[in-house]
Amino acid sequence: MNATKQPAAGQRLRLVSHDLVFIAETRPEAPLSVAALLDLLPWETELVHVRWSGEGVWVPLGDRDFDLPWENPTRYPAPGEVLFYPGGYSETEILLAYGPCAFASKLGPIAGNHVMTVVDGTAQLPELGRRCLWKGAQPLTMTRLGSTTHRGATQ
C-alpha cells in the first residue's frame, strides 16, 4: 500500500448481498485503513456470522498483513459500523455490526479501526445477519458507488 495515497473523506461504497443493497461512507479518522480497504475494490467475497462478538458478520482475511497502525480503534461498533482489524492476536478481518456487538476473538476482546459506516439500507442489516446466521455464508460485492466492474473473489 502506498502510504502517501489518501482517500477522499466520506467516499461512498456500495455493498450488495443478493437483494440487499447498502451504501457506506468511509471514515476520515482512519485514512490508512480506508486506503487498504479501497485497494481491495472492486471486491467479491463472502460474509459469515461472527462467533465471539454478538450481532455481526465478518470477512476473514487470514494471516494477510496490511501493516496498518491503530488509527481509531473501537471494540464496540454500533449497528452499521465496519471495523478493519489489521491482525495480531487474531486473524486479519473486516467486521460489520448489525446489532449489539462487542468485538472479540477466541483469545478475548480485540479492537478494529472504524473504516466505514452504512448510511443507507440500515433497516436491512438485521436481515443480512439473520441470513448469515441461519443460512450460512452470504455473498458480498463491494464497489465504489457508481462502479459496475467486478473482480474475482478475494479471501
pLDDT at 89: 84
DSSP element (H, E) containing 138: strand 138-144
The DSSP element (H or E) to which 113 belongs, if any, is strand 112-120
pLDDT digits (tens, 9 = 90+) for 57-85: 999 998 888 999 999 999 999 999 999 99
| Whether this model's pTM surpasses 0.85 | yes
Task: Sketch out the chain's domains with CATH numbers.
Answer: 12-144 (2.40.100.20)
Model pLDDT for residues 9-50, shown as the tens digit of each residue? 689 999 999 999 999 999 999 999 999 999 999 999 999 999
pLDDT(146) > 80 = no
Residue type (1 letter), 44 = E
Average pLDDT over residues 145-152: 54
Per-residue cell: 133: 446466521
CB hemisphere CA count around 61 (13 angstroms): 18
